[in-house]
Amino acid sequence: MDEKIFFKKLNSLGTSKEIFKFLSSLEVMSDIMASGALQRISEIEVDDNGLKNPEEVLENEVFRALCFQFEFESSKLSNTGLLNALQALIKLRTDPQSTLIASLLAESEERLGNRQLTVEHQCSLAESLLELEGASCAMLEQIVNHMQEKDIENWSPRELTTVYKILQVTVREGEQYHDLLNRMNSTTLTTAYQLSPKFTSIILNSLVVLRQTQAVPLVVALCKHSVKHVPYFTDDELVNVLEAFLYFGQREQSFTDALEKHVPKSISSMHPETVSKVMQYCCQKTILSKPIFDAVAEGFIYDADRFTTNQIAEYIVPFGTLNYLPPSASSLFRKLELILHTRFSQFQPHTLVKLLHSCVLIQRYPVNFLPKIFNPYFLQQLQAQPPGLDRFVTSQLTQLFLTVTLECPFYQGPKLLPKYQVNAFLTSHCSLDVHLLKRVTTGLLYLLKKRIYFASEVSTPYFYTVDIEIKLDEEGFVLPAAQCEEVHRRIALCVDGRNRFCINSHNLLGEEAIKQRHLQLLGYKVVQVPFFEIESLNTCRKMAEYLHKKIFPDTYGLGC
């Protein structure tokens, strides 16, 4: 039968039974036709869980006859027939230790050594080797060494992608393939716009594994190109892309827009690990996407019982970090409380602290679980597991304790012992914008005339650092910052730069929101000075007038 007619008929068949019947009707077929039949069977019979009907395929007489011929006549096969058969048989879960696979591998290795394989054939062989667990890296390294001598400008996207995958496995510390990688990065840059979702994801993943931080133009091009593929990525592919965005520090508004369209309508079919990675991306990039967060909250309410403890934390923590309560907040946190009651002991200690701390950032108080957290035995467990009781963890514990002290006066459980408390909180996102601070202090100096009337970056006994503090006496007059007597009122100016807000938003991050809430409960008059209110104030006088209205709204003059 003519090969074209054969493959047209083969591709029209939908079951392995039909294929075997069709093959039985042929008197003669080429090795390319036979290996093509095996490939078609593997496409039909193999899914994510493996071979659907092992006995029906592996015990079939036609299948066994084909395998016999491939094993004992491997030296007579064409390169295409040999490598297609090897690929199909590996996909069909044929025993890697069998004499069949050994025979095909030995023949492939001999032809590779004799340089009889084209780039396309070498890529096909490499894909098979990568599928074999514990495959010898020697053959893969031999393929890469051959590739270094080739003109890569003419490689197809599949060939480029395969070599990236090989390099992930073969490149160790050192730069033995540095030149090849640079050439590949340059070539891929010119074809990035043509790559399929699968190839885009694989190459981005390879660039992460190979730490190609110098390949910025390629990374940017692939990240931009990935936007149009968002609806078509598989779960694993989307995770690879998100990890690349995080690793290389990329943020594309169009990518976020694509996620906002894709996630809400696909949340029910997405794997929890993929959703966790989406939330991690939003959290680390401080992207408050209400469509995504609202959909994730709904997904959590209905499906959280099947999540791992890490996934539960990855779903919930961003709500606290980005200071957002979804419309379904009451159901969301009721569900979380039920899970904590039934699965508390399954959570790793550090995961629990992170999870409960994120809750208090948005005024959801886990008072039923804090006695267990402040228990000395639990704290010993925390200390015993990396990273132990470092400054970041003790900051979270201290803030949990301060929250129940200030906001939950009914809490009667154990306290956090002083030895586990910090002197000052760490602020991972919300550091002070020194440039903005300088502009505000210049305006204050114009307003108050002397620098002695305010202090900046003031440590308090309550673990927080106040950006600018002003003291007033009983009659409302400003006192020197160093004076401790007759202080009737303290004003805390919170100089909030862009880094204290979600990106492209006026929504304060959880760390800053809880700080301002606590300072108010501690007796301070909190005055927020956000960047978006003072960006356009380009003179000292305008800044002073603004500060006067913010700090002393009921007084007149004050040097203005």
Residue/partner pairs of 297-306 with CB below 8 Å, 24 or more apart: 297/326, 297/327, 297/328, 297/329, 297/332, 298/267, 298/328, 299/267, 299/268, 299/275, 300/332, 300/335, 300/336, 301/328, 301/331, 301/332, 301/335, 303/272, 304/335, 304/336, 304/339, 305/339, 306/272
Question: Could you give the 3-state DSSP secondary structure of residue 69?
Answer: helix
The β-bridge relationship of strands 478-479 and 489-496 is unpaired
Question: Could you give the 3-state DSSP secondary structure of residue 530?
Answer: strand
Neighbours of 545 (CB within 10 A): 16
Give the pLDDT band (50/70/90) at residue 174.
very low
DSSP tag of 418: G
Neighbours of 139 (CB within 10 A): 20
Given this model, what pLDDT does residue 144 score? Answer: 87
Q: At what angle do helices 290-303 and 253-266 cross, to 10 degrees?
A: 30
pLDDT tens digits, 240-271: 999 999 999 999 999 999 999 999 999 999 99
Q: What is the separation, in whole angstroms, between the first and last Cα of the chain?
A: 97
- Using alpha carbons, list the distances in angstroms from residue 272 to 12, 42, 47, 299, 544: 36, 28, 20, 9, 51
Q: At what angle do helices 178-191 and 157-170 cross, to 10 degrees?
A: 150
pLDDT tens digits, 355-372: 999 999 999 999 999 999
Tokens of 56: 């029906």
Tokens of 549: 């209205």
Residues 462-475 have a mean pLDDT of 94
CA distance 24 to 339: 57
Encoded amino acid at 490, one letter: R
CA distance 164 to 171: 10
Interior CA angle at 370 toward 365 and 376, to 5°? 160
Mean pLDDT of the chain: 93
pLDDT tens digits, 525-538: 999 999 999 999 99
Indicate whether 400 pLDDT > 60.
yes
Given this model, what pLDDT does residue 190 score? Answer: 94
CA distance 430 to 513: 10
Least confident of 86-90, 127-131, 211-215: 127-131
CA distance 541 to 446: 7
Question: Could you give the 3-state DSSP secondary structure of residue 209?
Answer: helix
Indicate whether 555 pLDDT > 90.
no
Encoded amino acid at 269, one letter: S
CA distance 317 to 209: 27
Neighbours of 54 (CB within 10 A): 12
Burial status of residue 322 (CB atoms within 10 A of its CB: 0-12, 13-18, 19 or more): buried
Question: Could you give the 3-state DSSP secondary structure of residue 494?
Answer: strand
CA distance 546 to 325: 31
Q: Are 300 and 315 in contact (CB under 8 A)?
A: yes
Give the pLDDT band (50/70/90) at residue 175.
low
Given this model, what pLDDT does residue 558 score? Answer: 47
Q: At what angle do helices 16-24 and 61-72 cross, to 10 degrees?
A: 70
Q: At what angle do helices 309-321 and 272-284 cross, to 10 degrees?
A: 30
pLDDT tens digits, 124-151: 999 899 888 655 578 888 888 888 888 8
Share of the chain above pLDDT 70, in %: 97
Q: Are 372 and 344 in contact (CB under 8 A)?
A: yes
Which residue(s) pair with 225 in the sheet?
Answer: none
Given this model, what pLDDT does residue 148 score? Answer: 83
For 479, the enclosing helix (H) or strand (E) is strand 478-479
DSSP 169-195: HH--SS-TTHHHHHHHHHHHHHHGGG-
DSSP tag of 319: H
Given this model, what pLDDT does residue 560 score? Answer: 39
Give the pLDDT band (50/70/90) at residue 23.
very high
Residues 305-319 have a mean pLDDT of 97
Residues 66-89 have a mean pLDDT of 94
Q: Which residues contact 349 (CB under 8 A, 6 or more apart)?
A: 378, 381, 382, 385
CA distance 322 to 136: 47
Indicate whether 307 pLDDT > 90.
yes
Indicate whether 173 pLDDT > 60.
no
pLDDT tens digits, 26-39: 988 999 999 999 99
Q: Are 248 and 275 in contact (CB under 8 A)?
A: no
pLDDT tens digits, 156-172: 999 999 999 888 887 76
pLDDT tens digits, 485-508: 999 999 999 999 999 999 999 999
Indicate whether 274 pLDDT > 60.
yes
Q: Taking Cα atoms as reference points, which of 77, 72, 86, 173 lies closest to residue 129?
A: 86
